[in-house]
Chain A
Amino acid sequence: MASTVQQSEMSAGEIVLGLLIEQPDSCYHLDKRIAERLGSAQFSRGAASRAVERLLERKLVRTADIEERAELRVVDGRKKTVYEATPSGVDHFERWLRASTQTPPVREELHAKIALWGSAELPRLIEIVREAELACTMQLQDSNREKRVERQVGGASDWERTMQLIVSAGEAMWWDARIKWLQDVRMYLEREHARRQSTAPPRRTRAPAR
Chain B
Amino acid sequence: MEGLLSLRDVWLSYPRGRRHVVRVLMDVSLDVYAGEVVAVLAQRAQGKTSLLRVAAGMERPDRGSVRFAGEDMWRSAHTHGRARRRRPRPLNAPIALVRPAPPDVDVPVGEGIALPLTGAHSGHQARELARRALEEVGVRECAPRRWSDLSDGERARVTIAQGIARDPRVLLVDDLTSTLGLGDTEEVSMLLHSLAVTRELGVLVGVGDVQATRWSERVATLAGGELLLEPAPAAPANVVNFPGG
Contact = CB atoms under 8 A, between A and B. Distances in A.
**Does B bind A?**
yes
Interface of A: 130, 133-134, 137-138, 140-141, 144-145, 147-148, 165, 168-169, 172-173, 175-176, 179-180, 183-184, 186-187, 190, 207-210
B84 interface: no
Given A137-B219, A169-B182, A180 B43 contact: yes
A141 B219 contact: yes
B210 A175 contact: yes
B159 interface: no
Contacts, number: 78
B221 interface: yes
Contact of A190 (B63, B210, B216, B224): B224
A60 B165 CA distance: 60
Contact of B215 (A140, A144, A207): A144
B158 to A, nearest CB: 23
Interface residues of B, number: 31
Contacts of B21: 207-208
Contact of B228 (A133, A190, A210): A133
A9 to B, nearest CB: 22
A169 B41 CA distance: 16
A164 to B, nearest CB: 10
Contact of A137 (B11, B46, B228): B228
Interface in B216-236: 216-221, 223-224, 228-230
A91 B85 CA distance: 81
